């Protein structure tokens, strides 16, 4: 992460639980996302969530690109919902390439669940400090 006096900036890219098709309850995931953002803020990070749907209502590339270009990011976290499902491999590849193109100075990190986001961001900070990009 970049050395400076302002808080490290973290962008979390992930699925909007309300816009993922299927018979499931999005509330627990939405609550966990909100809690993880609050926890990161409590730990001194400036965090923004960029959530997008899989229901066809979002132009994912445009939404992600807009967020990536909105400011310089120290760390970009790509959530597990994007990467874990085999049928989302192409989406994951597109997002990684967008991050590479529009936030080349950011560390890219991957969390397992919203609950381990602070650990994920700290791991990214350690990688950045050690020069491992």
**Is residue 58 one of the residues assigned to a domain?**
yes
Give the strands of the sheet with 46-52, arranged side by side: 46-52, 9-15, 75-78, 107-110
The pairing of beta strand 75-78 with beta strand 107-110: parallel
pTM above 0.85, yes or no: yes
What does the DSSP assignment read for 19-57? GS-SSS--HHHHHHHHHHHHHHHHTT-EEEEEEE-SSSS
Structural domain count of the chain: 1
What confidence score (pLDDT) does residue 7 get? 87
What confidence score (pLDDT) does residue 74 get? 94
**Is residue 2 one of the residues assigned to a domain?**
no
What confidence score (pLDDT) does residue 4 get? 53
**Is residue 104 one of the residues assigned to a domain?**
yes
- pLDDT string in tens for the chain (133-residue length): 445 568 899 999 999 999 998 899 999 999 999 999 999 999 999 999 999 999 999 999 999 999 999 999 999 999 999 999 999 999 999 999 999 999 999 999 999 888 899 999 988 877 776 665 5
Q: DSSP assignment, residue 131?
A: T
Residue 119 belongs to domain with CATH number: 3.40.50
DSSP H or E stretch at residue 76:
strand 75-78
**Is residue 3 one of the residues assigned to a domain?**
no
Domain containing 58 equals 9-128
**Is residue 25 one of the residues assigned to a domain?**
yes
User: Three-class SS of residue 18?
Assistant: helix
């Amino acid at each position: 992460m970049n050395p400076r006096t302002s808080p490290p900036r973290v962008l979390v890219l992930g699925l909007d639980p309300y816009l993922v098709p299927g018979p499931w309850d999005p509330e627990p995931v939405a609550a966990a996302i909100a809690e993880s953002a609050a926890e990161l803020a409590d730990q001194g990070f400036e965090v923004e969530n960029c959530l997008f749907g899989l229901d066809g209502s979002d132009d994912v590339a445009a939404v992600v690109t807009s967020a990536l270009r909105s400011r310089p990011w120290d760390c970009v976290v790509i959530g597990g919902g994007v990467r874990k499902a085999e049928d989302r491999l192409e989406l994951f590849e597109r997002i990684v390439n967008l991050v590479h193109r529009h936030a080349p100075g950011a560390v890219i990190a991957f969390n397992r669940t919203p609950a381990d986001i602070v650990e994920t961001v700290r791991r990214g900070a350690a990688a950045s400090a050690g020069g491992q990009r």
